[in-house]
Amino acid sequence: MKNNILKYSKVLGIFSVALITISSLTGCNDSSDSKSESIKPEPTNTSKGKFIPIYEPATNAENRVEENLWRSRKLLEGYTEEMNDFVNIPNDIKVVAKECKEANAFYDSDKNTIELCYELGVEERKMFTEEGDSGVNLENELYQSAVGTLFHEAGHALIAELDLKITGREEDVADQLAAYILTYNDEDKDYLITVADTYGLAAQRATSLDDLPFYDSHSLDAQRATNFLCYVYGSDMKGFQNLIDDGVLNKERAVDCEHEYQQIVDAWDFLLGPYFKNQSKNNIS
Ligand SMILES: [Zn+2]
């Protein structure tokens, strides 16, 4: 079963297959509170809401560099267009690029706002630069990283706004939405590989067990990296056999990845089915 998502590649496809990172290496904070009495998704025709792009001006030079990059790549415009073509939502959700005084991204259910901090771009620019990346390649990485973060935040936003019922940790589920979206097209799957690479790099920063935030609502960076590898492998085992051959994805984990991936696709198809903008694409069986 193919998942039901519009082709994000029409936005992302301007780049050659390069690195993408979902970033949020420190993870996002989520203030959503989606308690409700309903127990199953109900069809809705509501489409009053829209995702609305907003860039707030940066006030310092470092942040302004990221603002200029995101504006020039039409990051928020592309993202909101895709989300608006994808699902019906009852209320507007602002997608705001802004200074936050921390390197992070958020979904705030009280304000119905996704916030993407320029500081996150600054932090990732430093990280990629330390890896030796520069020029257009670096900018592509930063752009794609921000896109990945936005899809993760979309997971939080949709869970709250549509009152979706989930099991498991919401941070993991939000990662799964990003995987669901970025595996729709073959060309986008390489983005997930890069997301995994980035989390893998981030995981290497830890030098002792004391550095690992076991308490955190997010899975550990190394786990998130492995999950993304597993999902992309599960979406096309033959195409990504190299992940096994090269020892990038653990063989024992890989055994169940196709099943894991299909569970994610089936679940998001089911959860979002009533809200898909184009019901003719609904593949729910
Ligand atoms: Zn999150």
What is the three-state SS of the chain? CCCCCCCCHHHHCCCCCCCCCCCCCCCCEECCCCCCCCCCCCCCCCCCCCEEEEECCCCCHHHHHHHHHHHHCCHHHHHHHHHHHHECCCCCEEEEEECCCCCCEEEECCCCEEEEEHHHHHHHHHHHHHCCCCHHHHHHHHHHHHHHHHHHHHHHHHHHHCCCCCCCCHHHHHHHHHHHHHCCCHHHHHHHHHHHHHHHHHHCCCCCHHHCCCCCCCCCHHHHHHHHHHHHHHHCCCCCHHHHHCCCCCHHHHCCHHHHHHHHHHHHHHHHHHHECCHHHCCCC
For residue 249, how far is its CA from the centre of ligand 1 (angstroms)?
24
- What separation in Å is there between the alpha carbon of 171 and the centre of ligand 1? 5
pLDDT value for 238? 96
5 pLDDT tier (thresholds 50, 70, 90): very low
Q: Which among 117, 7, 146, 124 has a CA at the least distance from the CA of 58?
A: 117
Six-digit token string for 117:
């901090």
Ligand 1 centroid to 194 CA: how many Å? 18
Model's pTM, two decimal places?
A: 0.82
217 vs 65, higher pLDDT:
65
Residues, beta carbon < 5 Å, ion ligand 1: 28, 171, 174
Q: What is the mean pLDDT of residues 72-77?
A: 97
CA of 280 to the centre of ligand 1 (A): 30
Tell me how far the alpha carbon of residue 225 lies from the centroid of ligand 1, in angstroms: 15
Token look-up 């608006």 returns: 84
CA of 246 to the centre of ligand 1 (A): 30
Q: How far, in Å, from the CA of 178 to the mean position of ligand 1?
A: 11
Q: What is the mean pLDDT of residues 236-247?
A: 96
Q: Where are the domains of the chain?
A: 9-203+213-276
pLDDT band at 219 (very low <50, low <70, confident <90, very high): confident
Ligand 1 centre distance from Cα of residue 245 (Å): 32
Q: How far is the CA of 243 from the centre of ligand 1 (A)?
A: 26
- Residue 20: pLDDT band with limits 50, 70, 90: very low
Mean pLDDT score of the chain: 82
